[in-house]
Amino acid sequence: MIVGTAHLKLKRKTKSQIMKQAKINDKHVRARRADSRDAEVGRRVRSRRLECRLSQTELADRIGVTFQQVQKYEKGVNRIGAGRLQRISEALEVPISFFFGGGTAATQREPAGTESVFGFMQTSGSVRIVKAFHKIKNRKARQLLVEMAEEFADLEAA
């Protein structure tokens, strides 16, 4: 009978240790998952890559990963390590601070329901129109273009 009780206590202790280890492992995994900050960095990587007219494959080749990995970085599915972010910044010819908003976007919370400008710069067409707009020096022409774009947007919304 004493042997049975000792065996039961040993069995309980083992289960308790297993449960405790599982909780520790679960916390460890949770801490390593990508979050909204990683998604924002990914949006900035994508925006800059499009601005440089690079494909995902070309960027991947420059930083030593597969294009699928670049896709995951840009979508914010996978986190980008410090060394890899350094290689990305060199490949895209921007300082690392670019991916964090130069100390402003990364430190200030955006109101719920708003997107950063990089959320809108996810297509090559968006990047092209912004670059073309920036080349227009005539202030009045720029204003007319903005008003025309807003008019188109209002028509689409209606």
78: Cα separation from own chain's centroid:
8
Buried b (16+ CB within 10 A) or exposed e, 25-63: eeeeeeeeebeeebbbbbbbbbbbbbbeebebeebbeeb
Q: Are residues 44 and 112 in the same domain?
A: yes
Range of the domain at 17: 1-32
Tens-digit pLDDT profile for residues 120-144: 777 778 888 888 998 999 999 999 9
Tens-digit pLDDT profile for residues 143-157: 999 999 889 888 888
| CATH code of the domain in which 73 resides | 1.10.260.40
Q: Are residues 65 and 25 in the same domain?
A: no
Q: Are residues 18 and 93 in the same domain?
A: no
**Domain count across the chain:** 3
Q: Are residues 63 and 116 in the same domain?
A: yes
Q: Are residues 54 and 91 in the same domain?
A: yes
The one-letter amino acid at 67:
F
Q: Are residues 27 and 60 in the same domain?
A: no
